[in-house]
């Protein structure tokens, strides 16, 4: 199966979960709210600093991944 088709199916599955969660307005239902809860973004739960630093590191790595080509920064 071509990867392009798999990515389209993944995006469809994402929205099939995200849209009902958003419409139900259930706390922690959307991916954003779930990530905020896991990484203590809105509150200072136990280990909040380490969780926020982990999130920051992951987002930084993702940003680098999306903005680089073969390891060279291209912005």
Residues paired with 73 in a beta bridge = 68
Averaged pLDDT, 25-50: 89
What ranges do the domains of the chain cover?
A: 1-38, 46-75
Residues paired with 69 in a beta bridge = 72
The pLDDT mean for the chain works out to: 87
Residue 11 pLDDT > 60:
yes
Q: What angle do CA 6, 10, 14 make, to 5 degrees?
A: 170
Predicted local confidence at residue 48, as pLDDT: 93
Averaged pLDDT, 9-23: 94
Side-chain-side CA neighbours of residue 47 (13 Å) = 7
Averaged pLDDT, 31-50: 91
For the four alpha carbons of 35, 41, 43 and 49, in that order, the dihedral sign comes to positive
**pLDDT band (50, 70, 90) for residue 5:** very high
Q: What is the largest CA-CA distance in the chain?
A: 44
């Amino acid at each position: 199966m071509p990867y392009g088709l798999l990515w389209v199916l993944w995006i469809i599955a994402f929205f099939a979960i995200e849209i009902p969660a958003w419409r139900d307005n259930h706390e922690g239902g959307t991916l954003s709210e779930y990530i905020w809860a896991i990484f203590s973004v809105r509150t200072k739960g136990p280990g909040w600093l380490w969780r926020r630093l982990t999130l920051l590191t992951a987002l930084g790595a993702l940003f680098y991944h999306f903005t680089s080509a073969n390891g060279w920064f291209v912005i």
